[in-house]
């Protein structure tokens, strides 16, 4: 039975290894990958370091970190973690932008057998506090610009070990004069580091020095062990931690390589990484898959500074880039970027949010390279499907999400529970080695998301044609996607409802040509003196910037069902023309 066909009720799920989408597979792409190639991500990392020792692994602010040095520092950090009592299975939170410290602490944590908890450094105290409490993290590595947030969020958590790092760390050797100068400039001239008090915190250089003096004790970690607790929004408004095992992530990086590897040459590629590595898309593709081929990875600290991003690339003849719709749009609006020579560019990937046809067409006209659209979700490590690559470069962007990547089955489930037929809409369900183990400490939510046969329900509605090509048409959830980040209305509503002048509130997404969607809040006031400015100021105290409503509309009442549930669909329809 092929995916896309209806399954008789009461019969066991098939475990087919073929699918109708193979008609659309590029001939050089294998149908299956073998996750057993690596015993764990630690084994994967050590193998990459050994193979590419003399190659440059990461670049930041003009400084390079070779694979051999990356291996030495990651092992030193792993030894430091062991020295402070971190054991396999303990959670280590990483809270920083794209600096050289991220891969060192990422792989050091994995080598120690601990679980990585990636944290958006822009989180508010409330958001960070939830993630630290929920994960039970006892150790945090934080960029000093955000150390004050950790200080304020620490009470009530299990955090007892804090390592503080700055932008200048690892930018030089010995006394690292360059790095020290950068940190002093940011602290005392730019005033970008708020005052904080973490008296027991250790600076990263001290931690690495202590680890280097200690013998690292290898630990036994296998496919079934958790590598990441990667947080994603929930329909209840509470962020849930997706448990991604070593097998999940190894499988997904191998799936990505199987898909794009024919265009790439080991040890010869340069990948630009503007998307934050704490995001699952950039983590799997940029930090891991490109590590496997010995690529030179150019880290961008602040992708919102388009001018700075373009200047960082002025001497880089890059061959690959990953970004999302909004970033590609901003780059193409930059004169210096448009005037670049793109003859070396082989691969440009788009993900995190839907890519607009006009953006893809502009990019193709400017570079001669077709954007490769990928679809995924945190619960799938994240890659599920991608548009087939045309080796000859003469394909056109068609707005679909392509076909499932190797070793992945996709089916569409109708509202009545039966599998949908070809060209019939249904909820996209996924089965494959990249599907998460479940949600951390949330067995009920896990059972709702993954059925007894291993099918993960994504909440996205799509259709599959006779060649297995999938097109998304709607979302079953009320989730919004703002510049590639998932935003859930309940979280926004909970925050805004806490304002004493708010009686009722509902949040929906409205279409936006740049960010894909923006948040609009419909508010019933308890006190008529409440202003938009006052409400947004309150929201910014408790929500990361991309979650703060771009539009607010005051109403006398909200539309409700007969049982009192807010009709968000009615509000979305009404909000399609957002207020200025």
pLDDT in the model for residue 325:
81
Q: CATH for 65-221?
A: 3.40.50.980
Please tell me if the domain spanning 21-33+402-475 has the same topology as the one spanning 480-574. Answer: no
pLDDT score of 561: 56
| Cβ–Cβ under 8 Å, residues 162 and 150 | yes
Per-domain residue ranges of the chain: 21-33+402-475, 65-221, 480-574
CA angle 499, 503, 505 (to 5 degrees): 85
Q: Which CATH superfamily is domain 21-33+402-475 in?
A: Luciferase; Domain 3 (2.30.38.10)
Architecture of domain 480-574: 2-Layer Sandwich (3.30)
3-state secondary structure 505-548: EEEEEEEECCCEEEEEEEEEECCCCCCHHHHHHHHHHHCCHHHC
Bond prior to 382 in cis (omega within 30° of 0): yes
Residue 7 pLDDT: 36
Structure-token pair, residue 521: 């809040």
d(CA 465, CA 403): 10
Residue 375 token pair: 């679809």
Q: Can you give the pLDDT of all 580 residues of the chain as single tens digits?
A: 233 333 333 333 433 334 688 888 888 899 999 999 999 999 999 999 999 999 999 999 999 999 999 999 999 999 999 999 999 999 999 999 999 999 999 999 999 999 999 999 999 999 999 999 999 999 999 999 999 999 999 999 999 999 999 999 999 876 677 878 887 878 878 788 899 999 999 999 999 999 999 999 999 999 999 999 999 864 345 789 999 999 999 999 999 999 998 889 999 999 999 999 999 999 999 999 999 999 999 999 999 899 999 999 999 999 999 998 878 988 999 999 999 999 999 999 998 777 878 888 899 999 999 999 889 999 999 999 999 886 444 567 787 899 999 999 999 999 899 999 999 989 999 999 999 999 999 999 999 999 999 999 999 888 999 889 999 887 777 778 898 887 878 789 878 988 999 988 889 999 888 888 999 999 999 899 999 999 999 999 999 999 999 999 999 988 875 445 678 878 887 765 444 4
- Other CB atoms within a 10 A radius of the CB of residue 393 amount to 12
């Amino acid at each position: 039975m092929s995916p896309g066909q209806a399954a008789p009720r009461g019969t066991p799920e098939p475990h087919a290894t073929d699918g109708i989408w193979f008609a659309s597979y590029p001939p050089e792409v294998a149908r299956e990958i073998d996750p057993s190639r690596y015993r764990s991500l630690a084994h994967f990392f050590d193998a990459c370091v050994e193979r590419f020792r003399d190659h440059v692994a990461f670049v930041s602010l003009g400084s390079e970190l070779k694979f051999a040095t990356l291996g030495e520092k990651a092992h030193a950090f792993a030894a430091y973690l062991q020295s402070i009592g971190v054991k396999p299975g303990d959670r280590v939170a990483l809270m920083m932008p794209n600096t050289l410290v991220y891969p060192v602490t990422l792989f050091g944590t994995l080598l120690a057998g601990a679980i990585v908890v990636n944290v958006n450094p822009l989180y508010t105290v409330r958001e960070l506090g939830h993630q630290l409490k929920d994960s039970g993290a006892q150790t945090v590595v934080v960029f000093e610009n955000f150390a004050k947030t950790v200080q304020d969020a620490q009470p009530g958590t299990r955090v007892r070990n804090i390592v503080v790092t700055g932008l200048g760390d690892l930018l030089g050797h010995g006394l690292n004069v360059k790095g020290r100068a950068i940190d002093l400039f940011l602290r005392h001239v730019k005033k970008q580091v708020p005052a904080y008090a973490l008296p027991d915190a250790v600076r990263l250089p001290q931690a690495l020095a202590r680890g280097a003096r200690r013998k690292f004790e290898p630990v036994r970690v296998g496919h079934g062990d958790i590598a990441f607790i990667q947080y994603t929004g929930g329909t209840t408004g509470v962020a849930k931690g997706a448990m991604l095992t070593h097998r999940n992530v190894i499988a997904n990086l191998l799936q990505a390589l199987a898909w794009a590897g024919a265009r790439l040459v080991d040890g010869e590629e340069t990948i630009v990484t503007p998307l934050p590595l704490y995001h699952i898309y950039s983590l799997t593709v940029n930090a891991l898959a490109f590590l496997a081929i010995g690529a030179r990875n150019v880290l961008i600290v602040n992708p919102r500074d388009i001018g700075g991003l373009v200047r960082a690339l002025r001497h880089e003849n890059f061959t690959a880039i990953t970004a999302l719709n909004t970033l590609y749009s901003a780059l193409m609006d930059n004169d210096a970027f448009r005037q670049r020579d793109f003859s070396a560019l082989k691969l440009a990937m788009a993900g995190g949010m839907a890519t607009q046809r006009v953006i893809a067409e502009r990019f193709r006209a400017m570079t001669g390279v077709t954007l490769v659209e990928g679809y995924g979700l945190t619960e799938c490590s994240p890659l599920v499907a991608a548009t087939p690559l045309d080796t000859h470069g003469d394909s056109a962007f068609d707005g679909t999400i392509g076909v499932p990547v190797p070793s992945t089955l996709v089916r569409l489930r109708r509202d009545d529970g039966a599998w949908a037929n070809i060209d019939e809409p249904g909820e996209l369900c996924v089965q494959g080695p990249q599907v998460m183990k479940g949600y951390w400490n949330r067995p009920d939510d896990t059972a709702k998301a993954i059925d007894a046969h291993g099918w993960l329900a994504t909440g996205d509605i799509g259709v599959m044609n006779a060649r297995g090509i999938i097109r998304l048409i709607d979302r079953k959830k009320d989730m919004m996607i703002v510049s590639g980040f998932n935003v859930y209305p309940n979280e926004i509503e909970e925050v805004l409802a806490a304002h004493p002048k708010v009686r009722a509130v509902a949040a929906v997404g409205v279409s936006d040509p740049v960010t894909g969607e923006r948040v609009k809040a419909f508010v019933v006031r308890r006190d008529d003196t409440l202003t938009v400015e006052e409400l947004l100021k309150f929201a910014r105290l408790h929500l990361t910037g991309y979650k703060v409503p771009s539009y607010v509309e005051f109403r006398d009442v909200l539309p409700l069902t007969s049982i009192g549930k807010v009709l968000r669909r009615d509000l979305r329809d009404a909000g399609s023309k957002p207020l200025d």
